[in-house]
Amino acid sequence: MVIKTADFICSNTQISKLPPPLKPEYAFIGRSNVGKSSLINMLTQKKGLAKTSQTPGKTQLINHFLINENWYIVDLPGYGYARISKSKKEDWNKFIRSYLDKRESLQCVMVLIDSRLEPQKIDLEFCNWLGEKGLPFITIFTKADKQSNIKTDQNIAKFRKALLASFEEAPQFFITSAENLLGRDEVLNFIDSINQG
Ligand code: GTP
Ligand code: MG
């Protein structure tokens, strides 16, 4: 898929103010600092479209970006950021989970996982919650440039094996790097195949 245009549309804290659910949309989610915003910029090839930061907790709103005037990428705040209060975490949980659960135009949840890490409980729990809700999702392993391919493959294999405790099949997965375009065509082709129906 060729990205001709990628435009910031809006940031929201209120679900009632989201754009009308009339175009297919793909939500990017995962632990704080996993690289959601960086991946969105890499996919769209538009630096600075989504705000990135070395400090976790940068993205705090539901951000809609319109692609080729006909589908949305949604950048979400990360989960598991230790340095926020318990009540803020609960607010996040309610807000994001109700968006994911109720958004009619959501085609697929893109769960980002840090390819450098062994399976993390919080990521597995989040995937299990998506499964319980019957929400379609795939996994995207980020930051693959940061270690050897062998290490990446080992971590992915462990994560997929852990998912098999609750799923009959592990979901589709992609390996990406925001530094070198790894996985860009694959992720965009995946989205294109859903958009084409
Ligand atoms: P929150 O919005 O805080 O939840 O974070 P996020 O998941 O949007 O992460 P963000 O894209 O802001 O990236 C976090 C940090 O990781 C930044 O310093 C990025 O430069 C770095 N980063 C993200 N993706 C990659 C990658 O593929 N490779 C490398 N080497 N660094 C990356
Ligand atoms: Mg972000």
- Give the residue whose CA is nearest to atom 23 of ligand 1: 35
Q: Is residue 93 part of a domain?
A: yes
- Give the residue whose CA is nearest to atom 12 of ligand 1: 52
The domain that holds 172 is classified in CATH as 3.40.50.300
Sheet containing strand 62-67, edge to edge, reads 6-12, 62-67, 71-75, 25-30, 106-114, 137-142, 173-175
Q: Is residue 1 part of a domain?
A: no
Give the domain extent around 110: 6-11+21-195
Confidence of residue 187 (pLDDT cuts 50, 70, 90): very high
Q: How far is the CA of 17 from the centre of ligand 2 (A)?
A: 20
Residue 41: CB within 6 Å of ligand 1?
no
For the cut 80, the answer to whether the pLDDT of residue 156 exceeds it is yes
Total number of domains constituting the chain: 1
pLDDT for residue 85: 78
| ipTM metric | 0.99
Residue 63: CB within 6 Å of ligand 1?
no
Confidence of residue 78 (pLDDT cuts 50, 70, 90): confident
Question: What's the average model confidence in pLDDT over 104-122?
Answer: 97
Q: Is residue 85 part of a domain?
A: yes
Q: Is residue 81 part of a domain?
A: yes
Q: Is residue 16 part of a domain?
A: no
pLDDT for residue 145: 98
Q: How far is the CA of 54 from the centre of ligand 1 (A)?
A: 7
Confidence of residue 82 (pLDDT cuts 50, 70, 90): low
Q: Is residue 146 part of a domain?
A: yes
> Strands 106-114, 25-30: parallel, antiparallel or unpaired by DSSP?
parallel
